[in-house]
Structure 1
């Protein structure tokens, strides 16, 4: 009987980027084709703990925690300008330290505007894109976003306070289980870990600031779409079709600018990988084998 194939080892590391301690998970050969995993709200690289070893036998996989999330530094707002432009700069700085100059981006939720900003900075470095409920179109900003859009129009205390429930355990759990048929497939540690970091003193205010900053991503949507249209990066869309945060209309919109993108609408919700890993991993490995 042949020995079982070894499971790749994931390393848990920290790098100093622009004076910030940035935590990241890394696995696979350093000289292999790179895959960069960018997490969403309110998570961290923890959400990729199962995807990393599923790819790292053939790929160099890197998954950072954004500042204020997970195990990366959470400096006071007076010391760091929390926003998606800053996030993109931090990720870019980390990748340059690691001498990773070409990569496939896996983006989800907040990871999407972070990754797409990175693509605008270095379009030649993007070998491909995997978007798992990572939006870039106003088609994907529907009813869920109404209270956030109200904040964009008026950054008042009243509108900020209306969003504070978004940082509660109830809503954190909702993001993982809404639209999922078999909740037993979802690891409860997800919302427990996420909520631990959300509950740190000062973090709610950081998150409210990011909700307000998100309006700048929407202003950049035309630039993101121009990138898709002009560069036509190989794109795989693996999307939880039952997502009430970024509904399926946001996934379908990618095809307007990049008709060659592959669209797979899965019977899942916002964090689709959590219950559809058995579908997403084969799709990703097939996609990556063609991209690289």
Structure 2
């Protein structure tokens, strides 16, 4: 099998442009992948190369991230959800997406997107759902504070240590990539985390009627809210990936892609638990 090429492009987005990656054949069912902060669509390259065998995969940089221009309006989860609705219309027209997958910040945006635009996709898939409890809301602002540039360069070390602390076993190339993306946010670094704190995830996820796949790695900071988040889902599947951090899409793309394929190809559960089930997952 020949190597799948992940390509890149831009589309108009308000007063600027949105950068995105894409892979697969344009006639195939469409998957939209939404990244976490402060990363970009680059975090999905390994997943895209795999999923492109069966789907046309789109992964935009959220406005203000990666190589996308910032919005000129406010930067809320709802603003980004609407921007991605426009992005999808630009690329696919009126075609309904097979699914929307979001990770961390992307999970909040994906959920709000289906809440605000229910006809846009047939399914929702969330890694690290953002139903934040008060403990997470209290600690997140400190963990997301910006590192202002300083002449001694300590802001470089500060961002490196923050990224390395997310997964001490991660490859240095991954830590470096995320460090540079974080530094590129500058003083805007905390904005996405503030947007997630302000977002009413429970309202949005509770209203969604499409089937939902929800999971988190056992070493992911959002693992602690997985069960509470899934209790809000009307129908879907929950699972847990052992010994995995918030960089699961980079470090275990085959596991995540396997879950996505299994979920999108499954028949509806026949149990009496309101169309909800739990899967075991081997990493």
Fold-level match, TM-score > 0.5? yes
Where 1:195 maps in the other structure, the secondary structure is helix
1:216 aligns with 2:198: yes
Gaps of 5+ in 2: 148-154, 269-283
Normalising by structure 2, we get a TM-score of 0.80
- Per the normalisation by structure 1, the TM-score is 0.78
Are residue 21 (structure 1) and residue 53 (structure 2) matched? no
Are 1:52 and 2:48 matched, yes or no?
yes
SS at match of 1:13: strand
Post-superposition Cα deviations, 1:35-90, rounded to whole Å, max 9, x if no partner, equal 10000011111110100011111101000001221121247xxx442222221122
How far does residue 171 in structure 1 lie from its aligned partner after superposition? Answer: 0.8
User: Structure 1, residues 147-177: CA drift from partner, whole Å, max 9, x if none?
Assistant: 44xx6xxxxxxx89x82359712112222x1
For residues 102 and 244 of structure 2, the distance between their equivalents in structure 1, rounded to whole angstroms, comes to 17
Separation in structure 1 between the aligned mates of residue 171 and residue 49 of structure 2, nearest angstrom = 17
Alpha-carbon distance change, 206 to 89 in structure 1, aligned in 2, over 3 angstroms? same
Q: Is 1:286 matched up with 2:262? A: yes
SS at 2:2's partner residue? coil
Equivalence for 2:98: 103
* Correspondence 1:104-119 to 2 at 5 A: 104-119=99-114
| 1:243 corresponds to which of 220, 224, 239 | 220
Tell me how large the CA RMSD over aligned residues is. Answer: 2.6
Q: Is the counterpart of residue 163 in structure 1 residue 148 in structure 2?
A: no
Partner of 2:87: 94
Q: 1:259 to 1:101 in 2, by over 3 A?
A: closer
| Deviates most, 44-53 or 267-276 | 267-276
- Equivalenced residue count is 256
SS of structure 2 residue aligned to 1:164? coil
Tell me what 1:192 maps to: 176
1: distance between equivalents of 2:27 and 2:181? 33
Unaligned runs of 5+ in 1: 152-158
Conserved 8 A contact 1:132-1:237: yes
**In structure 1, what is the equivalent of residue 132 of structure 2?**
138
